[in-house]
Amino acid sequence: MTPSTPMAQLHALGQRLWLDNITRDLLDGGGLAAYIRDFAVTGLTSNPTIFEKAITGSGAYDAAIRAAGRDLTPEALFETLAVDDLQRAADLFGPVHAASGGVDGWVSLEVSPLLAYDAASTVTEALRLHARAARPNLFIKIPGTAEGLPAIEEAIFAGVPVNVTLLFSVDQYLAAADAWTRGIERRRAAGLSADIASVASLFVSRWDTAVVGKVPAALNNRLGIAVAQSALAAYRGLQRSPRWQGFGTQQRLLFASTGTKDPTASPTLYVHTLAAAQTVNTLPEATLKALADAPPVQGAASDDGAEAAGVLGAIAQAGVDTAHLAADLQRQGAAAFTASWHALMAVIASRQAALASG
């Protein structure tokens, strides 16, 4: 990794870059290893949409699907494929995980999105998947829905590292952080180790997509950044709080959905503007590659909330109810993952039938 690259600058600042993708082609072809070596990538995330695209768009899974025959349901076969991919990725990130003392080098496996509003089943699945994957650097992704919050607390209390997903607002972020904190406090009260890692994933770009044509042109591509900066200010407050000061491990804020959707904007817009120490940014491959050729990073993002408050005030004056929109975006996100899940199961079932018949 060249010291002068934006990736190296972000790493030196204290922000970690994770890949927002996983495919068997990336594993088999050495692409992921190259990203780790050359692009300062120190972790990755997955979700149902990512796996749907990976399995639909590649023949790399056909041998495993053919070997399984028709003995497994599509759901069971998908779990086998996903766990295998993520175990291999976790092993590649193992040296990073060890060198960072367990802070970095994580991969993420999501519970079924069909359980987004079922806390008890989510906890059961989180424990089962974590045990099956059997990797110390694997997060279980649990959505930060109202029903997901008690599941997050219970999973943390049970010792399962959690990546909280589908967070859109500061309030949703703080609720997720509180769920992690309660789980840690319960572990300490029970005499258990409080060293249970977690990240809280705030989705950024979907805010700006949602208000296209609804705000003045001067506010285009500014809402997502403002929400993220507000969350960063809240995160800094938690880091300084007496409640968190006693923890050896702190849940990190993660910026998700940071690929720019507006073709007229810089492809690294959300990367350059959200450079911040002790955070994570997950990048799609296209954004990561664009970052390699991008201008230098110009310092850290504002984390006092003042700049964000001005933008959010202007957005409100334009008639956008951000609290209502945050709830809508979370519901839409859960629905999109559910749709991807159903599409993925259909693809696997079709591939099973085709390969089994010769």
* pLDDT tens column, 329-349: 999 999 999 999 999 999 999
Q: What is the SS3 assignment for 161? A: coil
174/234 Cα distance (integer angstroms): 8
Average pLDDT, the chain: 95
pLDDT interval class at 201 (50, 70, 90): very high
Produce one character per residue of 80-113: b if its CB has 16 or more CB atoms within 10 Å, e if not: ebbbebbbbbbebbeebbeebeebbbbbbbbbbb
Give yes or no for residue 130 having a pLDDT over 90: yes
Give yes or no for residue 2 having a pLDDT over 70: no
The whole-number pLDDT of residue 3 equals 60
Q: Could you tell me what percent of the chain has a pLDDT over 70?
A: 99
161/184 Cα distance (integer angstroms): 11
Q: From the candidates 141, 214, 261, 289, which is the catalytic residue?
A: 141
Looking at domain 6-356, what is its CATH homologous superfamily?
Aldolase class I (3.20.20.70)
Give yes or no for residue 1 having a pLDDT over 80: no
Q: Taking CA 308 as the corner, what is the angle to CA 307 and CA 313, rounded to the nearest 5 degrees? A: 105
DSSP string covering 27-84: HHTTHHHHHHHHS-EEEE---HHHHHHHHHT-STTHHHHHHHTTSS-HHHHHHHHHHH
The whole-number pLDDT of residue 270 equals 97
Give the tens place of pLDDT for each residue, 243-297: 999 898 999 999 999 999 999 999 999 999 999 999 999 999 999 999 999 999 9
Mean pLDDT, range 11-26, rounded to an integer = 96
Mean pLDDT, range 318-327, rounded to an integer = 97
Identify the H or E element spanning 281. strand 279-283
User: What contacts 24+ positions apart, CB below 8 Å, involve 342-345?
Assistant: 343/52, 343/56, 344/48, 344/51, 344/52, 344/55, 344/56, 344/74, 344/78, 345/74, 345/75, 345/78
Catalytic: 289? Answer: no
The whole-number pLDDT of residue 57 equals 82
Half-sphere exposure (Cβ direction) of 256: Cα atoms closer than 13 Å: 26
* 215 or 68, higher pLDDT: 215
Whether the CB-CB separation of 87 and 133 falls below 8 Å is answered with yes
Q: Could you tell me what percent of the chain has a pLDDT over 90?
A: 90
Burial category of 339 from C-beta neighbours within 10 Å (exposed 0-12, middle 13-18, buried 19 and up): middle
195/209 Cα distance (integer angstroms): 37
39/36 Cα distance (integer angstroms): 6
Query: Could you tell me which residues come within 8 angstroms of residue 116 by beta carbon, excluding any fewer than 6 positions away?
Result: 122, 143, 145, 147, 148, 166, 334, 337, 338
The whole-number pLDDT of residue 343 equals 93
Global pTM reads 0.96
Give the tens place of pLDDT for each residue, 104-117: 999 999 999 999 99
Structure token digits, residue 326 = 């945050």
Whether the CB-CB separation of 252 and 298 falls below 8 Å is answered with no
Give the tens place of pLDDT for each residue, 211-250: 999 999 999 999 999 999 999 999 999 999 999 998 989 9
Residue boundaries of the structural domains of the chain: 6-356
